[in-house]
Structures are given as C-alpha cells and as structure tokens.
C-alpha cells in the first residue's frame, strides 16, 4: 500500500486459477470446488481518502464496462465493512479499472478485497473485520484478500497457503478475446460429472469449466492454441470460468516477446506471479 497526493492506494492483483476442479454441490447449493489460486503483481488499483460519505469514481480502460451503482463490489465492500465496524466516517474511493470485466481473473473480487485492505488503513480498524466480511461478498474474495498462492476448497473460500517454488516469480501472460463471460452461465453448462480431486501436482490438474466456457465462447480455443505455440511457454490453461487464458513462461524475455506478438483484437497482460 502506498500514499499518493493524499490518497492511500492498494493494488487489486489479477487472479488466475492454475487448476480448477468442480467436485459437486455443497448443501447451500453452491458448487464444491478444489482450486489453486495464484496472483499477478499487476491488476486494478483502488485508492481513497477519508470523507464524510462513501463515494466511488471509476477510471481506466474498462471503466465504461463497469457500473458505479450500489451493486458495484467496491461500494458493497465499503458499506459492509463500515456497518460491521461501526465506522461513522466515509471514504472517497477511486477504482482504476485495467482488467476486463467478467473475464475469469477475479477483477470484481480483487477490487472488493483491495477496498477492504485499503479501508482498514483509512478507517484504522482491525483487519479481522475485513476477513469476516470477505466471504459475504463472493467466493473468490477471501482468496483475493489474502492475495497469495493458496489452495481453495468448499466453494473456493476455505483456504490453505501453498508454497511452490515453481509458481512465485513465474512470468505469465494473460490473454482475453474481449468477450465477457458470466460465471453463472458457465456453471449452468457444467455437465455435473465429478472427474476426481486436485492432487499435489497442479500441472496434472485441469479446469473443469473449460469445455462449457468454450461452448459459449469458442474463441477460448483459439487463445489457448496460440498461447501453446509461443516460444518459452511451458504451460497454458484457462482461468476460472473464462474467457481469460494464461501461459507461464521460462523467462521474462519470452513472455514479453509473446505479449508483443499478441493479436491486436485480444486484450493481454504480461506480468509476474507473486
């Protein structure tokens, strides 16, 4: 976290699912998942300062795709934390939206989590209050609040930290065909087949949502094929419910070369995993 011209600022890093196994249904109706979360060093950015009321300004290349109404996850996170902690002041918040919306890389969840971290500083409250709020905002928000490599079970919100030398520091290229894809639509097309647990080697895992996502957005197959052909790429998979896919690279130079060659009609982000 850093201070800029009177505003505190917090990164909302892009999330990827290195593997995502759908195992069935929980008693509350949500899907039972086993997943491995990893986070980039880059993403959206939330900044803010103390104010009388809670407000939100959205800027950035994807600002127009995101509403600023009360259903925005940044505002929902702020209001929920304020109510829980009994805070009487507000905050003037700014969201610089660099990540595409409805893209499987946790943009909204990461923004909510960054807002929670930011407001615990601005309002000087216990971070435990933010952790208590996170699951109410979405299944990915607890992982995004942690912001470190972790295994998720339950609905993805029961977390265990993971240390893997093959993840942290890996160059990664995220590519999205610029087609928004709603998570609910993808889960609705999942065939209901339990294909087995996520083992210790995530590279041997899978993303059970890839096939239903590709049925909705065939361009996902084109992105994965392109990523797999890039020099230095050693692993490629779709993230979350799509349509963003990613590749890990042997070195930053190969990753940057692939980023420079990315078809112009696709969105891309070259980064490093935390």
Q: Catalytic residue numbers?
A: 15, 140
- Cβ(174)–Cβ(105) under 8 Å? yes
| Helix extents (H) in the chain | 73-85, 107-122, 127-137, 141-146, 183-189, 210-216, 219-228, 252-261
Structure tokens at 91: 């905050």
**Other CB atoms closer than 10 Å to residue 132's CB: what's the count?**
15
Give the burial class of 182: count Cβ atoms within 10 A of its Cβ; 0-12 exposed, 13-18 middle, 19 or more buried.
Answer: exposed
The string of DSSP codes covering 120-177 is: HHHTT--HHHHHHHHHHH-TTHHHHHH-S-EEEETTTTEEEE---TTTTT-EEEEEE-
Cα separation of 54 and 68, whole Å? 12
């Amino acid at each position: 976290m850093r201070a800029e011209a009177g505003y505190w600022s917090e990164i909302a890093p892009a999330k990827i699912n290195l593997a995502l196994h759908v195992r069935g249904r929980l008693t509350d109706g949500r899907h039972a998942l086993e997943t491995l979360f990893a986070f980039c060093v880059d993403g959206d950015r939330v900044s803010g300062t103390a104010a009388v009321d809670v407000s939100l300004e959205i800027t950035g290349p994807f600002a127009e795709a995101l509403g600023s109404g009360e259903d925005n996850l940044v505002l929902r996170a702020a209001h929920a934390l304020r109510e829980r902690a009994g805070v009487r002041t507000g905050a003037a918040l700014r969201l610089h939206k660099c990540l595409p919306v409805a893209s499987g890389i946790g943009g909204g969840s990461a923004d909510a989590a960054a807002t929670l971290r930011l407001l615990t500083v601005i309002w000087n409250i216990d971070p435990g209050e933010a952790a208590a709020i996170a699951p109410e905002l979405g299944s990915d928000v607890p992982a995004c609040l942690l912001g470190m490599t972790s295994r998720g079970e339950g609905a993805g919100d029961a977390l265990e930290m993971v240390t893997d030398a093959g993840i942290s520091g890996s160059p990664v290229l995220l590519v999205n065909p610029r087609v928004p894809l709603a998570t609910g639509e993808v889960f609705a097309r999942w065939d209901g087949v339990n294909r087995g647990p996520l083992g210790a080697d995530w590279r041997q895992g899978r993303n059970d949502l890839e096939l239903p996502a590709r049925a909705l957005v065939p361009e996902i197959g084109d992105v994965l094929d392109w990523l797999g052909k890039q020099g230095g790429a050693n692993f490629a998979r779709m993230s979350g419910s799509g349509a963003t896919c990613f590749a890990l690279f042997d070195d930053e130079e190969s990753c940057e070369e692939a980023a420079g060659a990315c078809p112009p009609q696709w969105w891309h982000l070259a980064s490093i995993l935390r």
